[in-house]
A and B are shown apart, each in its own frame.
Chain A
């Protein structure tokens, strides 16, 4: 029974991990930018929801669209006016510039939000119900549902809409897409904006389930990284699945080996996957 409960927790939490990684995988697959500031964007989204709830009294779940919209704007502007200037450079340079952004955003977060621990605590935050003898925490279930919802939305956007076709075309062949009338500057900015919006939603949910500080970014970036590699960059559902694999592996490791080893487990998982099946990863959308 304990095992089943741990597995359930792992699956529910893992879907949220997957949602965190979704934006990173999208940006990486389409723009070939490994965004080290992704965790910082998640952090920003979390604080948007936090302030909507505490200052304006908006229910956190209803504040998620607000976080997504404001993060979309942030991401769009960042890509349009900064990252587009460097996007054709070497991978190392985009890594460094996004690391610099991470430092800047984290610092600004520390000034504006202060370093205090914050938790988004709506009235239903502790609620749970019993199902087949297992305790199901309501918030985590909601997070799971939202992760599935948003990954489906992303799938439809990429595969069934004109914008999605433009994004996929740009990812496959920049020059050819340009010849067919796609403006890559616009497409890149919109794609990065979508990635940031997904990060914003993930941040809001993370703030409800865990806690927020300006410094959570770098560890969330690392986790998103592992999941993006596990799930590949092409299919949103596989990214969520990758998140679930990591969530379950971490929960099992915490149960059987000890909580200090959770990071070791997800890292070993990553290395094994990379060495055994390297061709699996890094396929653009």
Chain B
């Protein structure tokens, strides 16, 4: 990575870290949400972007993270960090159990097999008394938005550093090789199943911690919101909008899309969802490789957009 980029990133992180002292309450809440979403998109990027395995099941790890934290804190009175660890443990175990059979499937099969995952886990959790069944759990109330902000920022930084390391390491090379041609990668001696499962486990770890932070921040969990399948679609859209398989793409994509959505909801509250859908359609049409590719394009502007359409139209 170029030194100038590194300096720029460190500077922005330091500036972001001071946000709680200047921002209003509403602004801070928006920022926490955005940072957590960016973490989710970045975690999705590990398997989805680098290895090319599109997962629609990552929201299940998010749900397990929220429930691990909620059960530890609400049912057993354990401290927050123990809850985070419990949630992460549950998510990692789930990633291993689910990953080993499902990651043998290729491409669209894998995407489809993961599609119902969060619905299934939601149904199971809503029948468990320890998890508060359908009603949900209430966590001890804490009013400390700055702390949640710094935690979310820290988590996003750790996740992004991990992805940056990934992009330069043997592990990341193996994942990219799997994306480009899995059979060839296997022939060259890459243990593809092991790398894919490791990537899923890594993604599940960060995703579940983000879920745990969100649970304690909101102080309430219920099956419908914890295992919301549209959350996973949002992760994918943000990662792809920014540029999947890149280090900063998913972060930039989530920041931009969250801001666009929030502004739309502010100006024209009723039509925000509609315009959000339109933004997705246009983005896929004109810049399918994401903002990251647009920023690096040799000929930006309308030529770039037209070239993309020309490449993919019938």
Q: Given that A85-B285, A271-B102 are known contacts, is A96 also in contact with B113, CB under 8 Å in the complex?
A: no
Inter-chain contact B273/A107, CB cutoff 8 Å: yes
Cα–Cα, bound, A113→B41 (Å): 34
Identity of the chain A residue whose Cβ is nearest the Cβ of B124 in the assembled complex? A264
Stretch at the interface among B69-77, B104-112, B150-158, B187-195: B104-112
Cα–Cα, bound, A93→B116 (Å): 20
Render A216-233 as a binary contact track against B, CB cut-off 8 A, 1 for contact.
001000100110010000
Inter-chain contact A86/B285, CB cutoff 8 Å: yes
Render B34-54 as a binary contact track against A, CB cut-off 8 A, 1 for contact.
000000000000000000001
Q: Given that A96-B236, A271-B113, A282-B108 are known contacts, is A88 also in contact with B314, CB under 8 Å in the complex?
A: yes
Q: What is the interface of chain B mostly: helix, strand, loop, or mixed?
A: helix
Render A16-36 as a binary contact track against B, CB cut-off 8 A, 1 for contact.
000000000000000000100
Inter-chain contact B314/A100, CB cutoff 8 Å: no
Taking CB atoms, residues of chain A closer than 8 Å to B102 are 271, 275
CB proximity of A77 to chain B, nearest CB, Å: 14
Render B107-146 as a binary contact track against A, CB cut-off 8 A, 1 for contact.
1110111011101100110110000000000000000000
Inter-chain contact A270/B274, CB cutoff 8 Å: no
Cα–Cα, bound, A266→B123 (Å): 12
Inter-chain contact A275/B101, CB cutoff 8 Å: yes
Inter-chain contact A274/B123, CB cutoff 8 Å: no
Instruction: Determine if A104 is an interface residue (Cβ-Cβ < 8 Å).
Output: yes
Inter-chain contact B113/A104, CB cutoff 8 Å: no
- Within A206-245, which residues are at the interface with B (CB < 8 Å)? 218, 222, 225-226, 229
Cα–Cα, bound, A260→B237 (Å): 29
Inter-chain contact A96/B105, CB cutoff 8 Å: no
Taking CB atoms, residues of chain A closer than 8 Å to B109 are 274, 278, 281-282
Give 11 new A-B contacts, CB below 8 A, not counting A91-B54, A91-B111, A260-B126.
A84-B313, A89-B312, A93-B240, A96-B284, A103-B273, A108-B274, A218-B230, A226-B116, A229-B112, A264-B124, A278-B109
Instruction: Determine if B147 is an interface residue (Cβ-Cβ < 8 Å).
Output: no
Q: Given that A89-B288, A103-B273 are known contacts, is A95 also in contact with B115, CB under 8 Å in the complex?
A: no
Instruction: Determine if B281 is an interface residue (Cβ-Cβ < 8 Å).
Output: yes
Instruction: Determine if A101 is an interface residue (Cβ-Cβ < 8 Å).
Output: yes
Taking CB atoms, residues of chain A closer than 8 Å to B127 are 258, 260-261
Instruction: Determine if B309 is an interface residue (Cβ-Cβ < 8 Å).
Output: yes
Render B188-226 as a binary contact track against A, CB cut-off 8 A, 1 for contact.
000000000000000000000000000000000000000
Instruction: Determine if A53 is an interface residue (Cβ-Cβ < 8 Å).
Output: no
Cα–Cα, bound, A81→B285 (Å): 12
Question: Which of A82, A270, A275 is B281 in contact with, Cβ under 8 Å?
Answer: A82
Instruction: Determine if A4 is an interface residue (Cβ-Cβ < 8 Å).
Output: no
Instruction: Determine if A97 is an interface residue (Cβ-Cβ < 8 Å).
Output: yes
Question: Interface size on A (CB < 8 Å)?
Answer: 48
Inter-chain contact B312/A86, CB cutoff 8 Å: yes
Render A113-139 as a binary contact track against B, CB cut-off 8 A, 1 for contact.
000000000000000000000000000
Instruction: Determine if B233 is an interface residue (Cβ-Cβ < 8 Å).
Output: yes
Taking CB atoms, residues of chain A closer than 8 Å to B309 are 85
Identity of the chain B residue whose Cβ is nearest the Cβ of A79 in the assembled complex? B314
Instruction: Determine if B80 is an interface residue (Cβ-Cβ < 8 Å).
Output: no
Inter-chain contact B116/A92, CB cutoff 8 Å: no
Taking CB atoms, residues of chain A closer than 8 Å to B120 are 263-264, 267-268
Instruction: Determine if A99 is an interface residue (Cβ-Cβ < 8 Å).
Output: yes
Render B258-279 as a binary contact track against A, CB cut-off 8 A, 1 for contact.
0000000000001101101111
Instruction: Determine if B23 is an interface residue (Cβ-Cβ < 8 Å).
Output: no
Q: Which 4 A-B pairs have the closest CB atoms?
A: A103-B277, A267-B116, A100-B280, A104-B277
Question: Which of B54, B274, B276 is A92 in contact with, Cβ under 8 Å?
Answer: B54
Taking CB atoms, residues of chain B closer than 8 Å to A229 are 112
